[in-house]
């Protein structure tokens, strides 16, 4: 189990639970955090015994978003030629995006469990996750607009696929808070739970149920959904046919079939 400065990580059965762990800073995302996201999801992706991950916040909130000192950096205080500074900023933004792309590209489903504040960069983070669940008092806000900038770490690209176009623009232009119940109604969260404990228990149950499925089938399903988001239906159909050309030769299908016939629970290799 790797060790991190800004994250608490534990493995429960075949599920990794990652907690953002700077509660005294409302889990604000500092330089260490951005680097450790790459490491932790590299570990999730590479570790065969992990089949699903949960990300939540330690303390009273999920996260207040990017640490404001880093925001200044992105804007670049350097006394540089404008063009060279622009190139520097562009690459810095691409670098930050990479820290959440690893969630999107991780072969295993990643579930966000949100309570309290989920602000700015935290929205970028949870939209890169597969699914979102929250407490009734969760407080979502695309706060970048109040920092004088367009959100640039994924929200504006991924959120339109999650919630309706009209409500997404309202959130992005106004930065107004959306609470748990409304989040569930517009599809930002799949479901709300009464409090943090209920949330973690509920999400763990979902994660364990996913972890019990064939990992070959889960990884194929995630890859297909990710591909379909950005490609035509026809391209998607051709891709799954090509993918399953190998994957349907898996042992997992025989195991699943046998379990189905004998009404038993199948056990799949990692």
CB 209 within 8 A of CB 262: no
Using rule CB under 8 A, residue 206 touches a second copy: yes
**Among 70, 122, 123, 168, which residue sits at the site for a second copy (rule: CB under 8 A)?**
168
**Among 44, 53, 70, 216, which residue sits at the site for a second copy (rule: CB under 8 A)?**
216
Using rule CB under 8 A, residue 173 touches a second copy: yes
Rounded CA separation 27/114 (Å):
12
Stretch that binds a second copy, among 27-35, 55-63, 194-202, 242-250 (CB under 8 A): 242-250
Distance separating the N- and C-terminal Cα atoms of the chain: 17
Using rule CB under 8 A, residue 148 touches a second copy: yes
What phi and psi values does residue 237 have, to the nearest 5 degrees? -65, -40
Tokens of 90: 């562009």
Active site residues: 66, 121, 124, 144, 152
Stretch that binds a second copy, among 4-12, 15-23, 57-65, 188-196 (CB under 8 A): 188-196
Using rule CB under 8 A, residue 230 touches a second copy: yes
In the region spanning residues 250 to 269, those forming contacts with a second copy, defined by CB under 8 A, are: 250-257, 260, 266, 268-269
Using rule CB under 8 A, residue 249 touches a second copy: yes
3-state SS, residue 246: helix
Tokens 């930002």 identify what position?
A: 188
Which one, of 243, 248, 251, lies nearest residue 269 by Cα?
Answer: 251
CB atoms within 10 A of CB 237: 13
In the region spanning residues 3 to 22, those forming contacts with a second copy, defined by CB under 8 A, are: none
Instruction: Count residues near a second copy (CB under 8 A).
Output: 108
In eight-state DSSP terms, residue 31 is H
Q: Which is nearer to a second copy, 3 or 262 (CB)?
A: 262
């Amino acid at each position: 189990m790797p060790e991190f400065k800004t994250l608490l990580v534990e493995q429960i059965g075949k599920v990794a639970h990652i907690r953002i762990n700077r509660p005294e800073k409302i889990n604000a995302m500092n330089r260490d955090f951005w680097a450790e996201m790459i490491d932790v999801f590299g570990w999730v992706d590479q570790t065969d015994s992990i089949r699903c991950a949960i990300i939540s916040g330690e303390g009273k909130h999920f996260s207040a978003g990017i640490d404001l000192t880093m925001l200044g950096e992105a804007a670049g205080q350097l006394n540089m030629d404008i063009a060279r500074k622009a190139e520097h900023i562009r690459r810095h933004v691409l670098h930050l995006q990479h820290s959440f792309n690893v969630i999107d590209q991780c072969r295993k489903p990643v579930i966000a469990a949100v309570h309290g504040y989920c602000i700015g960069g935290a929205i970028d983070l949870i939209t890169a996750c597969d699914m979102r669940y929250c407490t009734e008092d969760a407080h979502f806000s695309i706060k970048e607009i109040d920092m004088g900038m367009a959100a640039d770490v994924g929200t504006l690209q991924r959120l339109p696929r999650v919630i309706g176009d009209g409500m997404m623009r309202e959130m992005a232009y106004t930065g107004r808070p959306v609470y748990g119940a409304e989040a569930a109604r517009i599809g930002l969260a799949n479901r709300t739970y009464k409090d943090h404990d209920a949330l973690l228990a509920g999400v763990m149950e979902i994660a364990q149920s996913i972890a019990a499925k064939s990992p070959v089938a889960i990884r194929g399903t995630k890859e297909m959904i990710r591909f379909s988001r950005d490609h035509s239906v026809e391209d998607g159909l051709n891709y799954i046919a090509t993918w399953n050309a190998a994957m349907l030769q898996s042992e997992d299908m025989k195991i699943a079939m046998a379990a189905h016939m004998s009404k038993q629970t199948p056990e799949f290799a990692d």
